[in-house]
C-alpha cells in the first residue's frame, strides 16, 4: 500500500494529466483512469449515476445493434414498458421483493412548489401519490401484469418480447459501468406454454450471449448455472456467462433466467391449453447491461489505454498524416484522403486525423489511449515510396506496407486482431483456471486470483462458509457438468461435481 504522499509525488512526476496509472500499480485506479481518459464516461452531478460520453456510447450502440439483430434472428420483438411500477406489484412475488426491496428508488409525489420560506422549490405535500411508484430495478412485475391481458389461449403463446431500457438500483458503492445506480440494458421477457419450451428459451438466450461475448467482444466466457444462493430473485434457475478479468476477478457478463410459473402465479397469467384446461404460463427473462462495457475494458486493455476489438470499435482505422510544410501537407493529405475513401468503400469505419493543431506523436498516443485497432501513417517518404506505416494496437507493433493492397491488408488485420484478442483472453482465462483439491490450496489460489475448480457438496451452507472465509463466491456450476465422485474441498463431505469459485465484481 502506497502512502498518500507517495501517490501524490508519483502523480506529480509522471504528469497524470496524460498518463494512466498502470495495472500493476493499482488495478482499480487504472480502470477508473481509463474510463475517464479514453472519454468513455464520467461521473455526473447525481450520486452513482454516470454520463456515458459519445465515444463510450458509440461502443454501447454497436453492442446494442449486434445483440438486437441476434434477438430478432431468434424470433424476438421489441416493446417498451413503463419506467414506474406500482409498489403493490412488487410485493406479489415474495422472493422478488426480498431481492430488490433494499435498492429501490421510490416516487412519492408528483408536484413541486415554491418554498413558502423562499428557499427555492420544495415538494408539494398536497401532491402525495395515492400509491407510491417504484422506479424499475427490473421489469418482471409490470410486464407480467401486462401479459395477463395478452394471454388467453395456447394460440397466444409464446410471447417473445425484449425491451431496451434504463433501470435503477440504488447501489451503495458504484463504479463507472461496473455498478451504477442507473444503467442501460436489455431485458427479454418470454411466456411459454410448457416448461420444456421455457427452459429451452433460457438456454438459447444464454447461447446468444455467449456468441456475442466471444465473437463480438472477443471475451471468452464460461457458461453455467447459478447455485440456489446466487439465483435471481424469483427464478427457478439462473444461467450465466462468466468472464475473467485481467486482475483475476470474475465478472458475470450476462444472465438468463428460467422463472418457472412463479410470476404467472403471482400475476395470474393463465391460458387454455388444447385440452381446454386452464394452465399457468412458463416464463423466462434474460439481460445484459452497460456492465459489458466494463468487461470489455478489463478484458483487453493495457497500460497504454483501451484496446478495442475491431468489430465494436467506433473507429477501426485512424489515418495520421506527417508533414512539415504546405507542400508536404497537400501531398500527404491527398494520399490520406484517397486511402480513406478506399477503406470506407470497403466498409471500414475510418477517421482521418487532419488536425493541424496536434503533432503526430500526440495523435499516436491519443488514438492508442482510445483503443483504435489500426493506425495508418503517411509521410512524404511514404508518398514517394508508395508505402504506408501500419501499426496495430493489440501488439503495439508497426511495419511498412505497400500502398497498393492496403485495403486488403487492413481488412485482414481486422480479422487477425479480433482473433488475437480472443485468443489472448482465452489463454489468460485458461491459465488462470485451476483445479484444486485441498482447502489450503483453495485459499491460496483464491488469494492469488482466478477461477478455482473444486469439488462442492451441493449445500448452501458450505457455499456461504467458503464465501465468509475467502470472499470467493460460487460463480457457477458448469452447464455441461459431469458427475464424478469426490469430497468437498471445504467440508470434506461427499461431492458429486466440481464447480467454479472466484472473487467477483
Distance in angstroms (rounded) separating the CA atoms of residues 500 and 478? 8
Secondary structure of 21-79 as H, E, C letters: CCCCCCHHHHHHHHHHHCCCEEECCCCCCEEECHHHHHHHHHHHHHHHHHHHHCCCEEC
Distance in angstroms (rounded) separating the CA atoms of residues 240 and 473? 14
- The answer to the question of residue 354 lying near RNA (CB under 7 A) is no
Which residues are registered as beta bridge partners of 283?
191, 260
Stretch near RNA under the rule CB under 7 A, chosen from 110-118, 157-165, 186-194, 355-363: 355-363
Given the complex with RNA, which of 193 and 236 has the nearer CB atom? 236
- The answer to the question of residue 377 lying near RNA (CB under 7 A) is yes
Query: Please, which of residues 44-63 interact with RNA by CB under 7 A?
Result: 47-48
- The answer to the question of residue 204 lying near RNA (CB under 7 A) is no
- What is the total count of residues that contact RNA (CB under 7 A)? 66
- The answer to the question of residue 25 lying near RNA (CB under 7 A) is no
Given the complex with RNA, which of 181 and 350 has the nearer CB atom? 181
**Cβ of residue 270: shortest distance to RNA, in angstroms?**
28
Longest dimension (CA), the chain: 84
- The answer to the question of residue 404 lying near RNA (CB under 7 A) is no
Query: Please, which of residues 274-333 interact with RNA by CB under 7 A?
Result: 289-291, 322-325
Q: What dihedral do alpha carbons 211, 216, 221, 226 form, nearest 10°?
A: -60
Distance in angstroms (rounded) separating the CA atoms of residues 287 and 226? 15
Distance in angstroms (rounded) separating the CA atoms of residues 173 and 190? 32
- The answer to the question of residue 389 lying near RNA (CB under 7 A) is yes
Q: Yes or no: say if 344 and 358 are a contact pair by the CB < 8 Å rule.
A: no
SS3 459: coil
Q: Yes or no: say if 414 and 373 are a contact pair by the CB < 8 Å rule.
A: yes
Distance in angstroms (rounded) separating the CA atoms of residues 451 and 445? 9
- The answer to the question of residue 355 lying near RNA (CB under 7 A) is no
Q: Yes or no: say if 456 and 474 are a contact pair by the CB < 8 Å rule.
A: yes
Stretch near RNA under the rule CB under 7 A, chosen from 85-93, 98-106, 451-459, 483-491: 98-106
**Cβ of residue 383: shortest distance to RNA, in angstroms?**
7
CB atoms within 10 A of CB 82: 13
- The answer to the question of residue 43 lying near RNA (CB under 7 A) is yes
Distance in angstroms (rounded) separating the CA atoms of residues 4 and 74? 53
- The answer to the question of residue 382 lying near RNA (CB under 7 A) is yes
- The answer to the question of residue 90 lying near RNA (CB under 7 A) is no
Which of 57, 60, 89, 183 is close enough to bind RNA by CB under 7 A?
183
**Cβ of residue 200: shortest distance to RNA, in angstroms?**
22
Which of 161, 391, 410, 425 is close enough to bind RNA by CB under 7 A?
391
**Cβ of residue 434: shortest distance to RNA, in angstroms?**
21
- The answer to the question of residue 255 lying near RNA (CB under 7 A) is yes
Distance in angstroms (rounded) separating the CA atoms of residues 189 and 159? 8
- The answer to the question of residue 30 lying near RNA (CB under 7 A) is no
Given the complex with RNA, which of 163 and 273 has the nearer CB atom? 163
CA angle at residue 267 from 266 to 272, to 5 degrees?
A: 110
- The answer to the question of residue 371 lying near RNA (CB under 7 A) is no
Given the complex with RNA, which of 328 and 416 has the nearer CB atom? 328
Given the complex with RNA, which of 347 and 361 has the nearer CB atom? 361
- The answer to the question of residue 176 lying near RNA (CB under 7 A) is yes
- The answer to the question of residue 29 lying near RNA (CB under 7 A) is yes
- The answer to the question of residue 19 lying near RNA (CB under 7 A) is yes
- The answer to the question of residue 262 lying near RNA (CB under 7 A) is no
Q: Yes or no: say if 56 and 306 are a contact pair by the CB < 8 Å rule.
A: no
Q: Yes or no: say if 447 and 486 are a contact pair by the CB < 8 Å rule.
A: no
Cell of residue 343, nine digits:
477503406
Which of 69, 111, 152, 398 is close enough to bind RNA by CB under 7 A?
398
- Binding residues for RNA, rule: CB under 7 A, are 4, 7-8, 11-12, 15-19, 28-29, 32, 43, 47-48, 99, 102-103, 169, 171-176, 178-181, 183, 230, 232-233, 252, 255, 289-291, 322-325, 357, 359-362, 364-366, 368-369, 377-382, 389, 391, 396, 398, 471, 504-505
Amino acid at each position: 500500500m502506497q502512502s498518500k504522499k507517495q501517490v501524490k509525488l508519483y502523480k506529480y512526476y509522471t504528469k497524470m494529466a496524460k498518463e494512466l496509472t498502470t495495472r500493476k500499480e493499482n488495478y482499480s485506479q487504472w480502470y477508473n483512469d481509463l474510463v475517464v481518459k479514453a472519454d468513455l464516461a464520467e461521473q455526473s452531478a447525481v450520486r452513482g449515476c454516470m454520463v456515458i460520453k459519445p465515444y463510450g456510447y458509440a461502443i454501447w450502440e454497436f453492442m446494442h445493434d449486434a445483440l438486437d439483430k441476434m434477438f430478432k434472428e431468434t424470433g424476438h420483438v421489441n416493446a417498451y414498458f413503463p419506467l414506474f411500477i406500482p409498489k403493490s406489484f412488487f410485493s406479489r412475488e415474495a422472493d422478488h421483493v426480498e431481492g430488490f426491496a433494499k435498492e429501490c428508488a421510490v416516487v412519492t409525489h408528483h408536484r413541486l412548489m415554491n418554498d413558502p420560506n423562499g428557499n427555492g422549490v420544495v415538494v408539494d405535500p398536497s401532491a402525495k401519490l395515492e400509491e407510491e411508484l417504484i422506479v424499475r430495478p427490473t421489469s418482471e412485475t409490470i410486464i407480467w401484469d401486462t401479459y395477463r391481458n395478452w394471454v388467453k389461449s395456447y394460440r397466444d403463446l409464446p410471447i417473445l418480447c425484449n425491451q431496451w431500457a434504463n433501470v435503477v438500483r440504488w447501489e451503495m458503492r458504484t463504479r463507472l459501468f461496473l455498478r451504477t445506480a442507473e444503467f442501460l440494458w436489455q431485458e427479454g421477457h418470454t411466456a411459454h406454454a410448457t416448461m420444456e419450451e421455457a427452459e429451452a428459451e433460457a438456454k438459447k438466450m444464454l447461447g446468444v450471449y455467449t456468441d456475442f461475448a466471444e465473437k463480438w467482444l472477443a471475451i471468452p466466457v464460461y457458461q453455467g448455472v447459478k447455485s440456489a444462493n446466487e439465483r435471481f430473485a424469483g427464478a427457478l434457475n439462473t444461467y450465466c456467462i462468466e468472464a475473467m478479468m485481467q486482475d483475476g476477478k470474475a465478472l458475470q457478463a450476462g444472465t438468463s433466467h428460467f422463472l418457472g410459473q412463479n410470476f404467472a402465479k403471482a400475476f395470474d397469467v393463465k391460458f387454455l391449453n388444447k385440452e381446454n384446461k386452464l394452465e399457468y404460463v412458463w416464463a423466462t427473462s434474460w439481460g445484459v447491461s452497460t456492465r459489458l462495457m466494463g468487461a470489455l475494458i478489463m478484458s483487453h486493455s493495457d497500460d497504454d489505454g483501451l484496446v478495442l476489438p475491431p468489430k465494436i470499435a467506433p473507429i477501426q482505422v485512424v489515418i495520421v498524416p506527417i508533414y512539415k510544410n504546405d507542400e508536404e501537407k497537400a501531398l500527404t493529405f491527398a494520399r490520406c484522403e484517397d486511402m480513406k475513401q478506399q477503406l470506407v468503400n470497403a466498409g471500414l469505419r475510418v477517421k482521418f486525423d487532419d488536425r493541424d493543431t496536434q503533432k503526430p506523436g500526440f495523435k499516436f498516443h491519443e488514438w492508442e489511449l482510445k483503443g483504435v485497432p489500426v493506425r495508418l501513417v503517411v509521410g512524404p517518404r511514404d508518398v514517394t515510396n508508395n508505402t504506408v506505416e501500419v501499426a496495430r494496437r493489440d501488439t503495439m507493433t508497426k511495419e511498412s506496407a505497400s500502398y497498393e493492397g492496403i485495403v486488403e491488408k487492413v481488412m485482414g488485420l481486422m480479422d487477425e486482431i479480433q482473433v488475437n484478442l480472443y485468443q489472448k483472453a482465452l489463454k489468460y482465462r485458461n491459465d488462470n483456471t485451476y483445479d484444486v483439491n485441498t482447502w489450503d490450496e483453495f485459499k491460496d489460489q483464491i488469494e492469488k486470483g482466478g477461477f478455482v475448480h473444486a469439488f462442492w457438496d451441493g449445500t448452501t451452507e458450505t457455499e456461504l462458509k467458503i464465501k465468509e472465509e475467502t470472499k470467493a463466491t460460487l460463480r457457477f456450476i458448469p452447464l455441461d457438468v459431469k458427475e464424478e465422485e469426490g469430497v468437498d474441498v471445504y467440508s470434506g463431505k461427499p461431492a458429486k461435481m466440481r464447480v467454479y469459485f472466484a472473487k467477483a465484481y
